[in-house]
Amino acid sequence: MRKLKMFLVASLALALATPAMADTIKVGVAGPHTGDLAPYGIPTKDAVVMLADQVNAAGGVLGKQIEVMALDDQCKPEIATNVATKLVSDGVDIVIGHVCSGATKAALGIYNEAKVIAISPSATNPPLTQSGDYPNFYRTIAPDDDQGKLAADFTTDKLGAKKIAILHDKGDYGKGFADFSKMFIEKGGKAEVVLFEGITPGAMDYSAVVQKIRREKADAVIFGGYHPEASKLVAQMKRKRVKVPFIGPDGVKGDGFLEIAGKNAEGVYATGPMDVSKYAENQKAKADYIAKFGKEPGTFFDQGYAAMQAALNAIEVAGGTDYAAVEKALKSSPVATAVGKIKFDAKGDAEGVGFSVFQVQNGTFVELP
């Protein structure tokens, strides 16, 4: 009898706990929230929190409140695996993130095993969708093969470069962008890649590779990587009077590069998500952000906000957080977002997004026609 009473008490406690647990939708947001690459992660975290607050104030999704679980991976794969494990163990329903491709790749297997969908605003490494290894992965940004082709075509066709040095930071993202840039330059047949070399992230001195650029008589430099290394490279190129165009990817296009590089940033080119300020959803999102934070949003805010919009729309269309139902909704139900009206293709890439080339003019990135 005593065992039966204990069983009934335990069953009652579980029954009472279940409705409370089901009353929230847990959304993880993972990325660099501290460290050198925080300017890429904080805007997405702010976007997710801001949108969640607005939706909760309006009654939530399907009558449930959104609980945001924000964790910092510093864009480091070894930390990203811990973050993913923590989110899964805490019962996350969907993840917005990660931000860097290497960290995203490290986390995706954990999410995939747990049947958790992850939507990244910025992980552009093509194999994340094209390999088929991560059917749970989606992104609201175009992949690096698109970005690499744009950089290659711009450097040869618009800048007229004939001898190009390509550098990268040896990471999944940076080397991926560099590899595609090299491939498209060689396919185009209009220029020669005279130097293709990896640099060590975090090093203080890149003068040796700058000397190689000079020795090879390169008339343009394409760099795959993030703004801390790009800032040092352009500074040392200026110091060594290597006066050739510098072209980076979206890992360079942001306030972090402008702040660290300072006057050395002037004239630098970078590919990045095309201007989407014409869309009503984008205008509202930015107005809400400025009203809340008193400043313009940073890099990948648009893509992070769109990822959260796509996630919430899919949950609503699916009628809950069932993995298969949400997956189907993401691929079949277009939604108006901060980056335009999108849905995802069979691989997980957003249809309707793309890149433009920007140049630093008077201390700010300006989209080129």
CATH of residue 190's domain is 3.40.50.2300
Q: pLDDT at position 22, please?
A: 59
Note whether 114 and 151 are same-domain residues: no
Q: pLDDT at position 352, please?
A: 87
Q: 30-84: per-residue pLDDT in tens?
A: 999 999 999 999 999 999 999 999 999 999 999 999 999 999 999 999 999 999 9
Q: Report yes or no on 256 lying in a domain.
A: no
Q: What is the largest CA-CA distance in the chain?
A: 89
The SS3 assignment for 206 reads coil
Q: C-alpha distances in angstroms, 133 versus 59, 108, 112, 348?
A: 37, 9, 9, 11
pTM, entire model: 0.86
Count of structural domains, the chain: 2
Q: Report yes or no on 181 lying in a domain.
A: yes
CA 362, 213, 102, 127 dihedral sign is positive
pLDDT tens over the chain, length 369 residues: 333 333 333 333 333 333 334 589 999 999 999 999 999 999 999 999 999 999 999 999 999 999 999 999 999 999 999 999 999 999 999 999 999 999 999 999 999 999 999 999 999 999 999 999 999 999 999 999 999 999 999 999 999 999 999 999 999 999 999 999 999 999 999 999 999 999 999 999 999 999 999 999 999 999 999 999 999 999 999 999 999 999 999 999 999 999 999 999 999 999 999 999 999 999 999 999 999 999 999 999 999 999 999 999 999 999 999 999 999 999 999 999 999 999 999 999 999 899 999 999 999 999 999
Q: 267-298: per-residue pLDDT in tens?
A: 999 999 999 999 999 999 999 999 999 999 99
Q: Which of 299, 274, 276, 245 minimizes the C-alpha distance to 367?
A: 274
Q: Which domain holds residue 201?
A: 145-249
The answer for residues whose C-beta is within 8 angstroms of residue 329's C-beta and 6 or more apart is: 313, 314, 315, 317, 318
Query: Tokens 């747990």 — which residue?
Result: 114
Note whether 46 and 151 are same-domain residues: no
What's the mean per-residue pLDDT of the chain?
Answer: 93
Q: 221-232: per-residue pLDDT in tens?
A: 999 999 999 999
Q: pLDDT at position 40, please?
A: 95
Note whether 161 and 214 are same-domain residues: yes
Determine the Cα–Cα distance for residues 314 and 319; give it in Å rounded to an integer. 8
Q: What torsion, rounded to 10 degrees, do the Cα atoms 48, 318, 131, 335 define?
A: -60
Q: Report yes or no on 364 lying in a domain.
A: no
User: Dihedrals φ, ψ of 26, to 5°?
Assistant: -90, 115
The SS3 assignment for 343 reads coil
Note whether 88 and 175 are same-domain residues: no
Q: Report yes or no on 115 lying in a domain.
A: yes
